[in-house]
Structure 1
Amino acid sequence: MKILIVDDDRINSTILNRLLARDGHAVVISHDGVEGVEKFRRENPDLVLMDIRMPRMNGYEAARQIKRLAANRFVPIIFLTAVTDEESLALCIDAGGDDFLTKPFNRTILQAKIDAMERIRRLHGELRRQKETVERHQEQLQQEMEVGQHLFAKIVSAGNLLDAPCLKRWTSPMSVFNGDLLVAAYNPAGGLHIMLGDFTGHGLSAAVGAMPLAEIFYEMTAQGFSLSELVEAINAKLISVMPTRMFCAACLIEVDFRQQSLLVWNGGLPDVLVTDQTGRVVRRLVSNRLPLGVQALTREDRKMEIMEMRPEHRVFLFSDGLIEAPDPSGEMFGLDRLMAHFDGRTQTDQIFDTILSSLRNFRGGAVQTDDISLLEIDCSRAGEEPPGGMPRRSEKNLPPAPWEISFSFHAGTLKNVDPLPTVINAVMSIQAPTGHRERLYTILAELLSNALDHGLLGLDTEMKKTPTGFIEYYNLREERLAALESGFIQLKLMHEPVLSEVDGRRIGGAIHIRLDDSGPGFDYNKVRSSLEGNCGHGGRGIALIRSLCSELAYLGDGNQAEVVYRWMYE
């Protein structure tokens, strides 16, 4: 060890020097406090033997300055003193001393104290190195967490439309990363898809699964896939990439303001609550499916619940973290406290906020034990566009060119696959005129829906005029589609560029659509399809197509439709 002796008594310094040198220590000597501080700065010793009474600077002040210079490095200071009163010894410790040695010196005790300080110094050095290692790991972990947060926010929030006017939401993660996934996006027809997922566990391990699910949700919604196809794709992804113990309790909802309907799939989340104009619960959509990621889904597992959507309806979704939130004593918030807000005495537009206020008051300062999410859907505002207008999918802007594409869907395909996303994405991959995707989607959706529902399945739109008939219509559709054994729908699309009369430039195009189905057809001359004043669930399809297209004609027995859609560069 290198030991600094600070003592104005040269005899004492000489004795200490010889004793220490005999034991193999390197010794540095100074004769007052000022010199001692300077030599400590220059020599960087491992231990200091410090006298108290010295000229220029006493030992107390010198010890304080040396401790400041040592900073995080542990340099023991042993005071050399002839005093034995408690007050003086306490001053030694207060000044930064770690031990003291009374004069005259005993070699055995001196060496024992030095050895003890050396052990402490080494232990302190090891702790300091471990602390620095931990700090480096923490710094690295923090950087990785920041990258993870950035990626999580970018992927999960990309395209998220939780600011849609009809939505009100609140989330409270237990840790930095949220194990609850809440996403929303519009499909090409303007319907709003919403998903609330609650992953197994908390924090980063739970949030990891949210990223691939969010990507699937946004991509498939933008391409026009149905809710049942989203459920199947998300379930398959979870099974393929997540550990067996990880799964996601989830609820997916489609808000279709054009059809005035709600489609709901609930797998493992608490009941979805639907209230009326009084604020009372009129429908509970219970979980009747396993959470996503547990096992492969059957056709029955993919089935949706459908209900009529009325303007006075409000829909409430929440994760189990809400009802399981504890107060400081450990008591849970519970379902009864939640349901007390739906007693009809609270104004409907204030229920959401009163639930949050009640939850905060109940929890007090209790530690949060789970991620918490709460979402309200105000059906009266379902048709309102989000701030900044409807989002647009990134599309190609290729010069108009002639092309032709055809599809043939038979019963085996139609009963298992929605043909619409296949058709619309094939068209968009060839010619994607900006701003026209939604209109083309609507036209093709109506044509294919009419051909399948009325042509092949023989369903009657009149059934949808009453709330019970509306539900029966879609239940019957599921039954007949599952039993479909024969029939076909053939679709042909042909595109022709439109030229400018002035300079012959290609300024747009005309898409000719022909659809044939194997159904019996209908008397199209007797159909009275209207958009004006039609607030029902059906009877608008033909009028809607006609309003969007420049030409619409039904041929033969009514099972052939020809449409021309013209577009110009916007």
Structure 2
Amino acid sequence: MSDTDTMVATAMKSEIDTPHTRHAILIVDDDPDLRVLTRRFLKKHGYTSVEAEDGDAALSLLQTLYDDHEPLPDLVLMDARMPGMDGFEACRRIRQTEWGDRLPLLMVTGMDDRQSVDEAFEAGASDYLTKPIHWDLLRQRIRKEIYARETNDALALAKAKLDQERYFVEDILTRMREKAPLNDRKLRVLFEPVDISSGDMVLSGMTPEGAHYAMLGDVTGHGLPAALIGPLVSDIFYSMTNKGFAPETIIREMHRQMRAKLPTGLYMAGCWASLNPRRDHLFVWMGGMPSGMIVRNGELLQHLETNSSPLGILPNELFDTSGVTIPVEPSDHIVFHTDGIIETTDPEGELLGQERADQLILQTLRSNHPLIAIKQFLDRFHGDAGQSDDITLMDLIV
């Protein structure tokens, strides 16, 4: 960096930091007389300014300010046609820097030079002005560009604050519903959320009599609205399970509370599996979930199908909590999963589907692989298409 660059950068910092100064503008033009006229005009309307005689000097000045952690100007007013590095090239290079992508940049072009106007926008100019300069129009363009920049900065700051608050709230809600360890030898869980928090949940608990209750839920949507259901459902599940209530009673209370406390349109598909204390009979209730399965010795024994609507939709008197009771044997696997698995798509948009999902799960169980092998397969299947929904699987082992 030359001594001249340092002196100019120091002078500009002084201009920008001057008390009562609202905005600073960098004037880039090889015509010293026009720079003087522009500087006087800007000063008359309350702006401070600093000058550069060509694109190279402007780029060097801006980089120096950035490297020294000094404030950049609020706007750059750049002539298009200059010797050395012209305005088009300077604009392109500014936009390529880590600091110049949002810097307002007005390009000054010839009156009838349509090609220059097109080139200015292609180079990244925010707007343009034609020569001879219409001074009132220049004032309006400057006000518009600076206002737009300040508005965008304020929106970005507000969004960052909201994102941080959302993260904290979602983290709190997620922790509130995680009341019991899930991955013990009798219950395995694959849980891969697509967002910070998830609308999927797995709950597991023992009654005083020794029955094992487990539930998989899939709330509509993602993020904060979906996460709000977690603490409500979790609290009902654990408090009533600890008191030994029947599965149908707990499911009905979840539905009633969701209908009473949540806004319309927010509901939860779910499936319930409970083993009696002797672990020889399974009670299953399913509301709006993909087919589950009972697997014995690595082979599909039977599918488990939805027999009710999701929780939180129907009026209380129409909601069906009846399920089915099925005899089971030691080492049987009762497997449920959310629709994030069967709705995984490859880069061409083809769904994995229920049949291939069943084969994937069976192969994983036969090979005695950890459940993460399912997620690894899905990652290969969707490729660059990415994961679009929460993926959760519950494997209850008799």
User: CA 1:112 to 1:93, structure 2 compared with 1: closer, same or farther past 3 Å?
Assistant: same
**CA distance in structure 2 between the partners assigned to 1:101 and 1:285 by the alignment:** 71
Which residue of structure 2 aligns with residue 225 of structure 1?
245
Query: Deviation at 1:147?
Result: 2.2
Query: Deviation at 1:284?
Result: 2.2
Where in structure 2 are the equivalents of 1:174-213 lying within 5 Å?
A: 174-213=194-233
Cα contact 1:197–1:250 (8 A) shared by 2? yes
Query: Deviation at 1:337?
Result: 0.7
**Structure 1 stretch displaced more, 314-323 or 129-138:** 129-138
User: CA 1:76 to 1:119, structure 2 compared with 1: closer, same or farther past 3 Å?
Assistant: farther
User: CA 1:34 to 1:92, structure 2 compared with 1: closer, same or farther past 3 Å?
Assistant: farther
SS in 2 for 1:208: helix
User: CA 1:377 to 1:367, structure 2 compared with 1: closer, same or farther past 3 Å?
Assistant: same
Query: Deviation at 1:338?
Result: 1.9
Query: Deviation at 1:316?
Result: 0.6
Query: Deviation at 1:217?
Result: 0.9
SS in 2 for 1:230: helix
* Residue of 379, 382, 386 corresponding to 1:363: 382
* Residue of 260, 267, 271 corresponding to 1:247: 267
Where in structure 2 are the equivalents of 1:68-147 lying within 5 Å?
A: 68=63, 69=65, 71-77=71-77, 87=84, 89=86, 93=90, 112=133, 117-147=138-168
Which structure exhibits the higher relative contact order, with contacts defined as CA atoms closer than 8 Å and separated by 6 or more residues? 2
Cα contact 2:87–2:107 (8 A) shared by 1? no
User: CA 1:115 to 1:356, structure 2 compared with 1: closer, same or farther past 3 Å?
Assistant: same
User: CA 1:169 to 1:72, structure 2 compared with 1: closer, same or farther past 3 Å?
Assistant: farther
**CA distance in structure 2 between the partners assigned to 1:307 and 1:195 by the alignment:** 17
Cα contact 2:177–2:235 (8 A) shared by 1? yes
Amino acid at match of 1:132: D
Query: Deviation at 1:299?
Result: 10
CA RMSD in angstroms, aligned pairs only: 3.6
Amino acid at match of 1:63: A
Amino acid at match of 1:294: I
* Residue of 15, 33, 37 corresponding to 1:43: 15
Amino acid at match of 1:253: A
1:309 matches 2:328: yes
Cα deviation code 1:154-201 (max 9, x no counterpart): 2111x2231222111112223222111211122223332111111223
- Between structure 1 and structure 2, the one with the greater Rg is 1
User: CA 1:72 to 1:221, structure 2 compared with 1: closer, same or farther past 3 Å?
Assistant: farther
Cα contact 2:360–2:374 (8 A) shared by 1? yes
**CA distance in structure 1 between the partners assigned to 2:177 and 2:321 by the alignment:** 24
TM-score when normalising by structure 2: 0.72
Cα contact 1:74–1:124 (8 A) shared by 2? no
Where in structure 2 are the equivalents of 1:252-401 lying within 5 Å?
A: 252-277=272-297, 279-297=298-316, 301-341=320-360, 347=366, 349-350=368-369, 352=371, 355-379=374-398
User: CA 1:254 to 1:101, structure 2 compared with 1: closer, same or farther past 3 Å?
Assistant: closer
User: CA 1:181 to 1:101, structure 2 compared with 1: closer, same or farther past 3 Å?
Assistant: closer
Query: Deviation at 1:327?
Result: 1.0
Unaligned regions of 5+ residues in structure 2, if any? 17-23, 33-50, 95-104, 111-129
Amino acid at match of 1:280: E
Cα contact 2:174–2:227 (8 A) shared by 1? no
**CA distance in structure 2 between the partners assigned to 1:241 and 1:89 by the alignment:** 64
TM-score when normalising by structure 1: 0.52
SS in 1 for 2:284: strand
Cα deviation code 1:341-381 (max 9, x no counterpart): 477896263384554443232212213332221111221xx
SS in 2 for 1:350: coil
1:67 matches 2:62: yes
Cα contact 1:262–1:306 (8 A) shared by 2? yes
**CA distance in structure 1 between the partners assigned to 2:354 and 2:233 by the alignment:** 29
User: CA 1:196 to 1:120, structure 2 compared with 1: closer, same or farther past 3 Å?
Assistant: same
Identity over aligned residues, as a percent?
23
Cα contact 2:170–2:224 (8 A) shared by 1? no
User: CA 1:65 to 1:149, structure 2 compared with 1: closer, same or farther past 3 Å?
Assistant: same
Amino acid at match of 2:393: L
Q: How many positions carry a matched residue from both structures?
A: 334
Which residue of structure 2 aligns with residue 169 of structure 1?
189
SS in 1 for 2:384: coil
Unaligned regions of 5+ residues in structure 1, if any? 1-31, 103-108, 380-570
Cα deviation code 1:310-360 (max 9, x no counterpart): 113111101122111111111100011123347789626338455444323
**CA distance in structure 2 between the partners assigned to 1:98 and 1:284 by the alignment:** 66
